[in-house]
Each structure stands twice: as structure tokens, then as C-alpha cells.
Amino acid sequence: MPDYRVRVTKDYTVFCSGHFITYAGGKCEALHGHNYRAAASLEGALNADHYVFDFVTLKKILRNVCDRLDHRMLLPLRNPLIDVLEADGEVEVRFKTRRYVFPREDCVLLPIANTTAELLAEWIAGEVRATLFEKGPIPALTALEVEVEETVGQTAFCRIMLEDRASEE
């Protein structure tokens, strides 16, 4: 049996967001932004109409997830070096002596350890999977891969197995 895969990426599966990551065991980048571009691939068996998954639906799902990140400051909630505190409609972020305060609505607080392209790809994959399976499992789909291009020629990939992940929950 051949393997099949469909992949979508469009001009609108992008998000222009601010972030900074910690690196090298304790350093922290200055605040900056990227015009991120996302792509999503689904692997699986062909259905009765001979396709893996509807391109239009997959584009829409990916776009909705990207839109939630677009024009926002992306902040990690699980980084031991970065404190993120919500209060009074604001988000206060501390790294050592550095301190930022953002309006709450300008931020997306992500349950990840660092806003690397790899972990953003993993988070997006989780959100895409949740939407895919909102109306129940789709047994023909075996894997989902999300790509996050941080800048031209610099892309991280995260591939999750859909069968395994579905049975975990």
C-alpha cells in the first residue's frame, strides 16, 4: 500500500508575533518578532473518494489556529527562568532584572517551556488535532505534522501520531 500525505500552507497561514526565548542554559533573547509561516500535513489512508483529507477544511483549521497567535506577544508559562503573572488586565513578565508589562489581550499565554519554533509547532499541532477530532475520531488519519518557519530558510517540524495521541485522552 502506498503512503499518502496532504500538506497545506498559504499566505494566510501566517502569524506575526513577538517573542523571546531563553537559550544556552540561562540567557534570554531581547524581545523581537517574526513573520511566522505555518504548514500542516496529514498522513493516512485514502477515503472512499480517494483522498486523505479535505484541503479546504485543513486550511481553515490551520488558519484559525494561526489567527489566535497573530499580532500577539507569545509567552511561555512553563519556562523556569521566565515569570509570567496575570493581574488587572495586564501580564507582567520577568527575567532576572528585566521586566515587561503587556495588556492581557495582546498576549497569548502558552503552556510550553519556551517559544521556540519547535514548541510552537507542537502547540499548533495539538490545537489542529483537537479541532480535527472535535466531532469524533477519524481512524484513517495516522499522523499530523506541523511546520513553523520562523524566518526564510529556517523551519521547525513537529510530527505527532494521531492514533497514539487519541487513545491517551
Rounded Cα–Cα distance for residues 166 and 154 (Å) = 30
What are 89's three cell numbers?
A: 488586565
Cβ–Cβ contacts within 10 Å for residue 55, how many?
A: 14
In this structure, which long-range contacts are made by residues 79-83, counting pairs with CB atoms below 8 Å and at least 24 apart in sequence?
Answer: 79/22, 79/113, 79/114, 81/22, 81/26, 81/28, 82/22, 82/28
Tell me the torsion sign for CA atoms 32, 37, 42, 48: positive
Q: Which positions are catalytic? A: 28, 71, 150
